[in-house]
Structure 1
Amino acid sequence: MSIQLTLLCAPGGDPTQDPLLGDAHLSQDAMHMADAARAVLSPGEQAVRAPSMRCSETADAIGLVASSEPMLRDLNVGRWSGRTVREVAAADPAGFTAWLTDPDATPHGGESVRQLCRRSAEWLGSVAPHTGHAVAITEAAVVRAVLIDALAVPARAFWHLAVPPLRAVFLTWRGGGWDVQFGGVSPQEPRRRLLSQRTPLAAGCV
């Protein structure tokens, strides 16, 4: 059984770094960041992406032909979509605080963090046993949710996982669990093993 997944977070769309909630086109700076990843990612890589504009544009900038995977879609923030973090925090401070602290909270009327974690775990568990190496270009929230599952940590840790844009997360299925590595996608940023956790495939969130 051989599975090696490289997760890349598309630039933008992370409430902890970017104030706009919901999908948007990549900025020129983000396009340049994505283009730099060409140095280490082969155009022939097996690849999937979230269905958002920013993930599609990131794949194009890298030069990857990536199929759209609905299960990698961003966290649904319901009526907050298109608003800034500052606007939401000012209009609904209690709801915003609940969103950041309670994985079951849905003050926006959309999807809870725990629901996203379960969806992401289902996707991770659906990866074919002999996939080999594949790249997934997706959203910061989805990368966090995948890490929650792969590292078997509580869903309440979701917002405490830093996911910088285009910093790779390497998942390797070995010995009945996932090894997790973090690194860059440029020659100047070699892979660095930061965490390793053995956990059953699709263990789910707690």
Structure 2
Amino acid sequence: MPLRVTFVAAARSAPLLAERFEDDRPLDQADWDEVRRAAGELLPLAAAELRYCSPTRRSRATGDALGFAPLAQLALRDCDMGRWRGLTLGEAMAREPAAVDAWLADPRATPHGGESLLAFISRVGGWLDTRPADDGVRVVAVAEPAVIRAALVYALKAPPATYWNLGIRPLSTATLLGGGGHWNLRFESPAVRANRP
């Protein structure tokens, strides 16, 4: 049986366009309500042998609220956005339109002085490939949507531009099966997920 890594997107009530780069705000009341509504479906994932999270307050709190007691992983941090940290995409575009265009068009670009999209995808993929490959090990990782998109692009060996076409909803899950650079994406219904963490 292959290694099974299930990513859970951290709770987030803010609209996507209001999200700030490297946002580390804690969960607000709407986020907590969202976690409570999803807990019944996601709680079985707490049976995973290994439980991790991004180091953001939102990811840690989501994992704790779901009963995962996750261990924060520095490799699962959001992309380093340099001087754009704390800005929305719209704010960065208003300040540096040519730089944002370059960043969106070239996965190697670092006009913000931080990490390139390609380096971010590689970092998250490196974490994924170093998970224990013991047969049947189940891993759950609560992470920011950007981290999950990076993991999926890496696992599927998709072109980096695919990153921009993946929508990850709060508290949604994505399961990868495999290990060592060979991954398969699995979609499951809530009933199946409840029976197979």
TM bucket normalised to smaller: 0.7 to 0.9
Match for residue 110 of structure 2 among 106, 109, 133: 106
* Counterparts in 2 of 1:166 and 1:183: CA distance versus 1, 3 Å: farther
Alignment match, 2:73: 69
Structure 1's unaligned 5+ residue stretches are 192-206
Distance change >3 Å, CA 11–CA 17, structure 1 → 2: farther
Aligned to 1:170: 175
Work out whether residues 47 and 136 of structure 1, in 8 Å CA contact, stay in contact via their aligned partners in 2.
Answer: yes
Share of identical aligned residues, percent?
34
Q: Can you list the C-alpha shifts for 1:154-198, whole angstroms capped at 9, x where unaligned? A: 112111111111110011128x832212357x66xx76xxxxxxx
- Size of the aligned set, in residue pairs, is 187
Q: Tell me if the contact between 2:54 and 2:60 (Cα under 8 Å) persists in the aligned partners.
A: yes
Decide whether the 8 Å contact of 1:59 with 1:137 is kept in 2: yes
Please state whether the residue corresponding to 1:63 is helix, strand or coil: coil
Q: Which moved more, 1:161-170 or 1:11-20?
A: 11-20
Residues 1:48 and 2:18 are matched in the alignment:
no
Task: Indicate the SS of the match to 1:87.
Answer: helix
Structure-2 residue corresponding to 1:21: 21
- Give the Cα separation in 2 of the matches to 1:135 and 1:76: 23
Structure 1 residue 146: deviation in Å? 0.8
Q: Taking structure 1 as reference, are residues 139 and 146 closer, same or farther at Cα in structure 2, changes over 3 Å only?
A: same
In structure 2, the residue matched to 1:126 is 130
**Paired letter, 1:145:** A
Relative to total residues, which structure has the larger helix share, 1 or 2?
Answer: 2
Q: Does 2:91 correspond to 1:87?
A: yes
Map of 1:146 onto structure 2: 151
SS in 2 for 1:146: helix
Q: Shift of the alpha carbon at 1:13?
A: 9.9
Q: Alignment partner of 1:65: what SS?
A: coil
Q: Deviations over 1:73-131 (max 9, x none)?
A: 11111111112222111111111122222111112111110001110111111011116
Counterparts in 2 of 1:154 and 1:165: CA distance versus 1, 3 Å: same
Once the two structures are TM-superposed, the CA of residue 14 in structure 1 deviates from its matched residue by 9.2
Match of 2:163, as an amino acid?
F
Query: Structure 2 length as normaliser, TM-score?
Result: 0.84
CA contact (8 A) 1:4 1:133 kept: yes
Name which of structure 1's ranges 18-27 and 120-129 shifts more when overlaid on structure 2.
18-27
Distance 1:4 1:14 in 2: 30
- AA aligned to 2:67 is G
The separation in 1 between residues aligned to 2:60 and 2:52, in whole angstroms, is 10
Aligned to 1:2: 2
